[in-house]
Amino acid sequence: MSQYWSPAVRELTPYVPGEQPREQLVKLNTNENPYPPAPGVGQALRDYATDHLRLYPDPTSAALRKALAETFQVADSQVFVGNGSDEVLAFAFQAFFCHSAPLDVPAISYSFYPVYANLYGIELRTHPLDANWEVDIESLGSAPERSGVIFANPNAPTGHAHSLASIEQLLQRVTDRVVLVDEAYVDFGAESAVTLIERYPNLLVTGTFSKSRSLAGLRLGYAVGSEELINGLQRVKDSFNSYPVDSLASVVGIAALNDTEHFETCREYVITTRERTRQRLESLGFEVLPSKANFVLTRHPDHAGAQLFAGLRERGILVRHFNTPELNDFLRITIGTDDEMDSLIEALQVICA
Ligand code: PMP
């Protein structure tokens, strides 16, 4: 605590990201993609003329938004881009949820949501997950007074995904406020709600290049929604930072979007490895929540989460352990390459023996 901090800063509880270790570890803790970005990304970097760096980037990121619009079959004016989807989410909280009523959010979800809510003074109304650790989508938005609804699909850190039909039912109920679906992990097996934006002007879908496009180090995220929602995000962006997307990031992002084949191949690998890992964990006695994401949430009836985390860390394998009452028993394990998952299973065999 410092005397120089403003009262608002004293009240913050910042998000704590997963560790980025300096030593060589099998890194299965922050849901990065184990496969490299598309080959076109390297080419785009090599072709980039350094002299471009003299100039500010296009403040509207028109070329990148066009490439995303083509990918999602929407108009350019229905796409917003930012410095990682975390930034896009932060803008969305400010643009749409700063009303006097609470924001509806699943009780267990992406832990940045409460941080943004705290930053902007937004009250949260949390909805417990059901007995299967699934978001109770019917309860979201059910109270008459709310500033909006936000949830991740697939959810983090559970990996469960809702069908498009159940998301549409929610949209039929909540028409007066923004419903934000965070699709950071959608490409690993869930259905995207982008196809619903034409019919629901209050639906905002966010996504990222960090996971299925293997570009977490670049910081690129986006939102797709009606023009009026995109304009709302732009108003916040242009009151904060005119140029959140570097010209280099824009060129690289376009190259990644252009390589559909690489994208499809890598996500198939991740999905196949996830299912293989699930079976192998189950054969060691773990309970594994069904996942449509590039991670699994798992626990063992005889071994505490913290103990498993420490045992893996000693053996050079880093996973994520959340020190909260609900998730204390669990580990969240990112799906790596088959070799990395072999190392994980071998280490768990020893720890659980
Ligand atoms: N949403 C969810 C659910 C996430 O898990 C993450 C990654 N931590 C993000 C958004 C943010 O991803 P990025 O800022 O890398 O786009």
Structure confidence by residue, pLDDT tens digits, 63-103: 999 999 999 999 999 999 999 999 999 999 999 999 999 99
Which residues of 1-127 form beta strands (DSSP E)?
26-27, 79-82, 103-106, 124-127
Residue 85 C-alpha to ligand 1 middle, in angstroms?
A: 6
Phi, psi of 273 (to 5 degrees): -65, -35
Six-digit token string for 20: 């980025």
When mean pLDDT is compared over 8-17, 21-30, 43-52, the highest value belongs to: 43-52
pLDDT in tens, 130-168: 999 999 999 999 998 999 999 999 999 999 999 999 999
What is d(CA 185, CA 212) in angstroms, rounded to the nearest whole number? 7
Q: Return the CATH class of domain 7-36+261-351.
A: alpha beta
Residue closest by Cα to atom 6 of ligand 1: 184
Minimal-distance CA residue to ligand 1 atom 2: 184
Token digits of residue 305: 């989460």
Testing ligand 1's pocket by substitution, the residue of 210, 295, 334, 335 carrying the most ligand atoms inside 8 A of its CB is: 210
Which residues' Cβ are closer than 6 Å to ligand 1? 84-86, 110, 152, 156, 182, 184, 208, 210, 216, 221
Mean pLDDT calculated for residue range 170-194 = 98
Residue 353 confidence (pLDDT) above 90: no
**How many A from CA of 332 to the centre of ligand 1?**
15
DSSP 90: H
Mean per-residue pLDDT of the chain? 97
pLDDT at 204: 98
CA-based nearest residue to 86, from 124, 106, 62, 113: 113
pLDDT, position 286: 98
Are the beta carbons of 247 and 241 closer than 8 angstroms? Answer: no
The C-alpha atoms of residue 294 and residue 122 are separated, in whole angstroms, by 30
Per-residue model confidence (pLDDT) at position 118: 95
For residue 64, the tally of other CB atoms under 10 A from its CB is 26
Establish whether the linkage from the previous residue to 7 is cis, with ω within 30° of 0. Answer: no
Q: Using one digit for the tens of pLDDT, what is the confidence trace for 159-180? A: 999 999 999 999 999 999 999 9
Which amino acid is residue 244, in one-letter code? P
* Ligand 1 pocket test, candidate residues 87, 108, 110, 204, most atoms within 8 A of CB: 110
CA of 118 to the centre of ligand 1 (A): 18
For the chain, report the end-to-end CA distance as a whole number of angstroms: 45
SS3 68: helix
**pLDDT tens-digit readout, 201-224:** 999 999 999 999 999 999 999 999
Contact assessment for residue 12 and residue 5, using Cβ atoms and an 8 Å cutoff: no
CA of 271 to the centre of ligand 1 (A): 19
pLDDT, tens digit, for every residue of 280-300? Answer: 999 999 999 999 999 999 999
Query: How many angstroms is it from 207 CA to the middle of ligand 1?
Result: 8
Whether residue 45 is predicted with pLDDT greater than 90 in this model: the reply is yes
Domain ranges within the chain, ordered by starting residue: 7-36+261-351, 39-259
Query: Element (H or E) spanning 296, and its range?
Result: strand 295-299
Q: Cis peptide before 34, with omega less than 30 degrees from 0? A: no
Sheet holding 331-334, edge to edge: 287-288, 295-299, 331-334
* Average pLDDT of the residues in 176-205: 98
Q: Tens digits of per-residue pLDDT, 308-326? A: 999 999 999 999 999 999 9
Q: Specify the residue for token string 């990148």.
A: 64
Separation between Cα atoms, residue 81 and residue 61, nearest integer Å: 7
Which atom from ligand 1 is nearest to the alpha carbon of 182?
Answer: 1
Ligand 1 centre distance from Cα of residue 326 (Å): 21
Compute, in angstroms, the gap from residue 136 CA to the centroid of ligand 1. 21
Ligand 1, atom 12, residue with closest C-alpha: 85
pLDDT category at 241 given cuts 50, 70, 90 is: very high
Q: What is the DSSP-derived secondary structure letter of residue 251?
A: H
Write down the architecture of domain 39-259 according to CATH: 3-Layer(aba) Sandwich (3.40)
Q: Probe ligand 1: pick from 29, 182, 209, max atoms within 8 Å of CB?
A: 182
pLDDT of 156 reads 97
On the CB side of 63, CA atoms within 13 Å amount to 14
Check for a shared fold between 7-36+261-351 and 39-259: no
